[in-house]
Structure 1
Amino acid sequence: MSTQPAAERETVLIRSARDVTELVNSGAARGSHAKMIVLLALGGIFLDAYDLTSLAYGITQIREEFGLSPAGAGAVTASISVGAILGAWLGGVLVDRLGRYRVFMADMLFFVVSAIGCALAPNAEVLIVFRFLMGIGVGMDIPVAMAFLAEFSRLRGKGSKGSRTASWSPAWYVATSGCYLVILALYFLLPDSQHDLLWRFTVGFGAVPAIVILLVRNKYMNESPSWAANQGDLERAARILRDSYGVDAVVAEDAERPKRESKPRASLHQFRTLFARRFRPRTFQALAVALAQTFSYNAVAYGLPIIIASLLGQGDLNTISASLVLNLVFAVTGGLLGMRLANSAGAWRMTFWGFAVQLTALVVLAVIGDPSSTAWVLLALFALGGFMFAQGGGPGANFMNFASLSYPTELRGTGIGFNQGTLRVGSTLSLFFFPVLSASFGTGVFWVIAAAPLLGMVALLAKRWEPVGYDADAVEHEYQQRLATPEPARG
């Protein structure tokens, strides 16, 4: 008897977009190319984190090389986030209008050009421009990557939407750790007289993974079958199922064939739909959770080298090593735990308790203040580790579940893009003001940051919404069916 799954042996008839979505959600469609698409989407996330982290360590060197004030350093740091605001809003719309594949490929080109441009920047102004372009790439990548993760995964069980969407978190921290590994290697490879070039080599290296993804795109990358089906192109959806999943999918002769023109194009209409009565509470809660986690995370994670070097008084080697250990040991471990528990514990519970641990860690850091001994330095580093662990397993892993799984396929890109673009406002503020606030208040800045996880907990308590395991496409299909069915006349 053949050991192949039945989905690979039998012909599957496709009659509607709902059939395609159900086939993917049920887990009946499996294939090595589909798994590679998930890995490549995570590769995009890897690039996001690497590029954002690459200048976090180098900001001190950049400030010295270009003679920047604290405000100037904040402008360099925040320019990527400003670009990400525009990139996310635009990318979310384009992901729903043009498809996942096209936007993903364009995004990789952004990463290559901007990484090389930043590495060769002759002054702060040029660096800000290319860092802004890098931000556009980062902003565009999140909606498309999360759409791929959600739409090439089953609804429940192993490899589910919840766990794969949460997997962006360990991928992020692996990239962050990888960035510090690159910095550490360059630290020992370059002579002391060239250590001021560390940031340039590190940033430029970010172009390499993007080039690799571009080289393998033709063999593995494909469009989302759910998106193609929702555009009315059932033949293309069936072809993708055959190519990426190995499913013998054929469009039935009696299939529903809506005109593609009748589908509302992604535009202001899509943004308005996010605030329709059925989506409004989810949209606001997802945004509140995202804003809370990004403000505190950006201040701590991207300010990590500044915290260790300036506030804790450590040298270059200790700063690099401590940043690497905190990301690799605490953040990656937390992210893997969050991914593993996404199905059983749910996004709401993991996010709430993650915020609670972060609040505790920030209060400890604020109380310690300027450490007066090695023991206090170690306790402060442990508190930073606790913060990173909670971020990786809690809000960091799961806030994307709120933004990605609360909407059906035709609205997913716009929903993620709106969420990401708007949260980047908080990200920009934190990246800009952290160097200024830390220079002004020292360790007292932790009291300010602590307000973010507290507000996140309040937002979660306002509505206990669980996106993991929720079939947004099925619910939206039923809603549209009710709208299309006339109510019976009353006698």
Structure 2
Amino acid sequence: MENKRLVIHSKQDIIDFVSTNPISQKGMLIVFVALGGIVLDAYDLTSIGIGVNQLTEDFNLSPAQLGSLTSVMAVGALLGALFGGMVTDKLGRNKMFLVDILLLVVAAFGAALAPNLEVLVFFRFLLGVGIGLDVPIALSFIAEITNTKRRGQLVNLWSPVWYIATAFAGLLLLPIFFLGIDENLWRYAVGFGGVLALIVLFLRFKFMDESPIWAAKHLPLKEAAKIVERTYNIEVVVQELKEKVTKKDDKVALSTLFSKKYRMRTLSASILAATESMEYFAVMFYLPTISMLIFGKGTIYGIIGTVVFNCCGILGGLFQSYLTGKVGIRKLAIIGYSIVCVALLTVGLLGKSLPAIFVAILIGSFIFGHAFGPGAQCMTMATLSYPTELRGLGSGWGQAMLRVGSIIGAFVFPMVLALAGLEKTLLVVLIAPVIGLIAVSLIKWDPTNKNLDSDTETEFLSKNHSKLSV
């Protein structure tokens, strides 16, 4: 930082400083530590997906039971996201960060050691609750530690991080497979998720601090100033001005998201999240199975296919993050939806007559388009569409809508796949991106490069608070 000394007179000075100044080196480190929950979510989805055939044999699962097992985590995440978003807006980001990771550690090890389906379902549910709590907090935190210009770009980093974690899951399991100790492959995979959670817990305990903007809104000015001082490594001098003291009510109802000012933002974020998760979870959870359908039977094809296909997601995720500030969240979503629709339609109609390599290219294009567009933009839209007072709640609502879509995709896909085959199933999945493309094209809202912690947003919440909290 060029300015080694910052004088602040009010909480708005802190908000303005964070919104206009480059993120510090420590801040960038904290951003990646905050994304640890994204790594755990992506890793768990991929790792259990790789072992799904073995898991099915171990517990003699029917398609309906398998759908229930894969979707129960989404049910837990839905509940965690709804309640976690509300709680983190009141208690702060950092406290919740540590609580939800502890839950993930317990749940991952419990699932790996599960003796029967019932115990496995229980711990998968807890795992979902932990993820549902963590993701809205992480994205809210990143939004509140970065300036307005780079906010969308850095929040959107969650997408490439997700795909890096999914590719890592496949690479991690390759040595286990080649060593010939893959009898309990899915248990090793899920259990290692607990080890990753412990690593994330340590890093958060060591490096994380409270969000500067949340602190400015909720803590005494001197405490908030100390957080800015630690985060940006500058001297902060408080020369507090006397301000009119008003009684503060921390309660913000979910209905606030559907008030006249915010309802179209919430509708756009909801449709984005629900439709992208339907298409993603319907395809990506069973990516190892799809890889084996394309390349040939055998666990090795499932693992290699998972790694290769997710590299397409890494490219799409990195590309869109770079373009976010220039193109905008809404346009990126429209472009991504279009790529997804073309890929799904082509495989659905021509998949049986195409060589395996062309089918693989189309599936890779689907993953690239998803990561470039709706897959990344859904949570970024939900996180950046609201001011700090609502950000955890809004991000949590977006995560809840994402889990609604994932429940549908993860539960319905195995049954449709068993009855209709890959091509017809992908035509059914095509319904989701078509709906999303139409909705985002019609709703013009785009929060890219907007400062929603401005006085006008705060005044709206203050004037309408009592009515909206009833």
Letter in structure 1 aligned against 2:338: A
Instruction: Select 1:359's aligned residue among 341, 354, 364.
Output: 341
Instruction: Select 2:413's aligned residue among 408, 426, 434.
Output: 434
Tell me the residue number matched to 2:451.
471
Number of equivalenced pairs? 463
Contact 2:33–2:203 (CA under 8 A) maintained in structure 1: no
Letter in structure 1 aligned against 2:105: V
1:203-225 per-residue CA deviation (whole Å, 9 max, x = no partner) reads 11112222122223343110111
Tell me the residue number matched to 1:223.
210
Q: Secondary structure at the match of 1:206?
A: helix
- Structure 1 CA distance, aligned partners of 2:268 and 2:358? 34
Tell me the residue number matched to 1:460.
440
Contact 2:378–2:398 (CA under 8 A) maintained in structure 1: no
Tell me the residue number matched to 2:151.
161
Query: Is residue 2:128 matched to residue 1:138?
Result: no
Letter in structure 2 aligned against 1:81: A
Instruction: Select 1:449's aligned residue among 422, 426, 429.
Output: 429
Instruction: Select 2:188's aligned residue among 194, 201, 205.
Output: 201
Tell me the residue number matched to 2:250.
265
Contact 2:7–2:239 (CA under 8 A) maintained in structure 1: no
1:185-205 per-residue CA deviation (whole Å, 9 max, x = no partner) reads 21112x2xx423111111111
Tell me the residue number matched to 1:13.
8
Tell me the residue number matched to 1:298.
281
Q: CA deviation at 1:478?
A: 6.2
1:432-481 per-residue CA deviation (whole Å, 9 max, x = no partner) reads 11111100111211111001111011111221211110111115446449
- Structure 2 CA distance, aligned partners of 1:112 and 1:424? 21
Runs of at least 5 residues in structure 2 that lack an aligned partner in the other structure: 465-470
- Structure 2 CA distance, aligned partners of 1:108 and 1:455? 35
Q: Give the structure-1-normalised TM-score.
A: 0.91
Query: Is residue 2:178 matched to residue 1:188?
Result: yes
Query: Is residue 2:5 matched to residue 1:24?
Result: no
Instruction: Select 1:116's aligned residue among 89, 109, 125.
Output: 109
Letter in structure 1 aligned against 2:392: G
Tell me the residue number matched to 2:27.
34
Q: CA deviation at 1:245?
A: 1.1
Q: CA deviation at 1:257?
A: 7.0
Tell me the residue number matched to 2:323.
341
Q: Percent identity?
A: 38
Q: CA deviation at 1:115?
A: 0.9
Contact 2:85–2:394 (CA under 8 A) maintained in structure 1: yes
Contact 2:276–2:402 (CA under 8 A) maintained in structure 1: no
Q: Give the structure-2-normalised TM-score.
A: 0.94
Q: CA RMSD in A?
A: 1.8
Q: Secondary structure at the match of 2:35?
A: helix
- Structure 1 CA distance, aligned partners of 2:315 and 2:244? 47
Letter in structure 1 aligned against 2:143: A
Q: CA deviation at 1:167?
A: 0.5
Query: Is residue 2:254 matched to residue 1:275?
Result: no
Q: Secondary structure at the match of 1:472?
A: coil
Q: Secondary structure at the match of 2:358?
A: helix
In structure 2, relative to structure 1, the CA distance for the partners of 1:481 and 1:302 (3 Å cut) is: closer
Letter in structure 2 aligned against 1:161: R
Q: CA deviation at 1:483?
A: 4.8
Tell me the residue number matched to 2:45.
52
- Structure 1 CA distance, aligned partners of 2:299 and 2:49? 13
- Structure 1 CA distance, aligned partners of 2:375 and 2:74? 17
Q: CA deviation at 1:265?
A: 2.2
In structure 2, relative to structure 1, the CA distance for the partners of 1:477 and 1:256 (3 Å cut) is: farther
Instruction: Select 2:314's aligned residue among 332, 336, 352.
Output: 332
Instruction: Select 1:425's aligned residue among 394, 404, 420.
Output: 404
Contact 1:115–1:134 (CA under 8 A) maintained in structure 2: yes
Contact 2:294–2:359 (CA under 8 A) maintained in structure 1: no
Contact 1:12–1:247 (CA under 8 A) maintained in structure 2: no
Letter in structure 2 aligned against 1:360: V
Contact 1:311–1:442 (CA under 8 A) maintained in structure 2: no
- Structure 1 CA distance, aligned partners of 2:461 and 2:345? 51
Q: CA deviation at 1:394?
A: 1.0
- Structure 2 CA distance, aligned partners of 1:481 and 1:133? 34
In structure 2, relative to structure 1, the CA distance for the partners of 1:62 and 1:199 (3 Å cut) is: same
Q: Secondary structure at the match of 2:291?
A: helix
- Structure 1 CA distance, aligned partners of 2:408 and 2:461? 43
